[in-house]
Amino acid sequence: MPTGAFVIKIDHHPNHDPYGQLNWVDETYSSCSEMIYELAQAGCFTVTAAVATKLYAGIIGDTVRFSTPETSTRTLKIASALAATDIDIATISHHEMDLTPALSKLYGYVLSEQTIEPSGLAHVVLPQRIFSDLSLEYGDEDALVPLPGNLTTVKVWLFFIETPQGQYRVHFRSKAINVNAVAKAFNGGGHPLASGAFVPDLVTVGQVIEQMQAQVLAATAVD
C-alpha cells in the first residue's frame, strides 16, 4: 500500500479492527459484494458483465450458495439483478464447487479423520504435512470448510488448520448454535454462526474443543 494512501474499509463482519480512514461496516449484509453493488447503484461505477460475474461469485461464495442466516431478500434481489446482466450463473456456481484432484483427496481426509461427538460437535485438524503430501498450499482448504456441515448429525464444526508458522487457524461454523462467544474467548470473533480465531498450539486446540463442547451441550440442554 502506498505511504499516505487513503484507506476505505468495506466489510460485513463485526468491526473489531476499524483500520481505515473511512469505515463502512454493516453486518446486515451477507457479503461485501452486495455492499459494492450498492456503490454501483449510487453511481460510483458501471456494472458490466465482467463486474457482475465477480460480484455474483462473491455473493454465492460468502453465503455458501445462499445458505447462511445472513442471506436476505436483499441478497436475492441483488443476485437477481446481477443475473439479469446475462452472466453465466451456472458456470459461476460450478466454479464455486470446483475440486482439483488434490483437493478431492483432502476432502476424503476431512471426512475420514474428523471426530463427531455425540453432542453433534465435529472437529478436524489439518496438519501442515497433509498439505505437503498432497502438494497443496495453505489456504487451498477454504473451499472445504462447509463440508462437515453437510452431515445431518453435525450441529457445530471446528476446522483447525496448521499454518506454515506452526500456529492453528480455527474456523468455527454452526447451523444454529452461537459459536462467536467461544471464538471471542480465544481472541477471535465474527458472526454468530461463522467465526474465526488463531491459537498457538495443539494444547489450545484441545481447550477450544472443550469449550465448544460445553457450549453445544448447554444449548442442547436448553432446547
Q: Please give the grid coordinates belonging to residue 158.
A: 471446528
The pLDDT assigned to 154 comes to 96
Q: Please give the grid coordinates belonging to residue 116.
A: 463427531
The pLDDT assigned to 223 comes to 59
Residue type present at position 150: N
The pLDDT assigned to 171 comes to 96
Q: Check pLDDT > 80 for residue 168.
A: yes
pLDDT in tens, 171-209: 999 999 999 999 999 999 888 888 999 999 999 999 999
The pLDDT assigned to 84 comes to 94
CA 207 distance to own-chain centroid: 22
Pick from 42, 49, 60: which is nearest to 82 by CA? Answer: 49
pLDDT in tens, 13-72: 777 777 888 888 888 899 999 999 999 999 999 999 999 999 999 999 888 888 888 899
CA distance 11 to 69: 17
pLDDT in tens, 81-104: 999 998 999 999 888 777 789 999
Q: Check pLDDT > 70 for residue 222.
A: no
Backbone phi, then psi, for 159, in 5-degree steps? -105, 125
| Residue 149 pLDDT class (50, 70, 90 cuts) | very high
- The residue-averaged pLDDT of 109-119 equals 95
| Residue 167 pLDDT class (50, 70, 90 cuts) | very high
Q: Higher model confidence: residue 21 or residue 135? A: 135
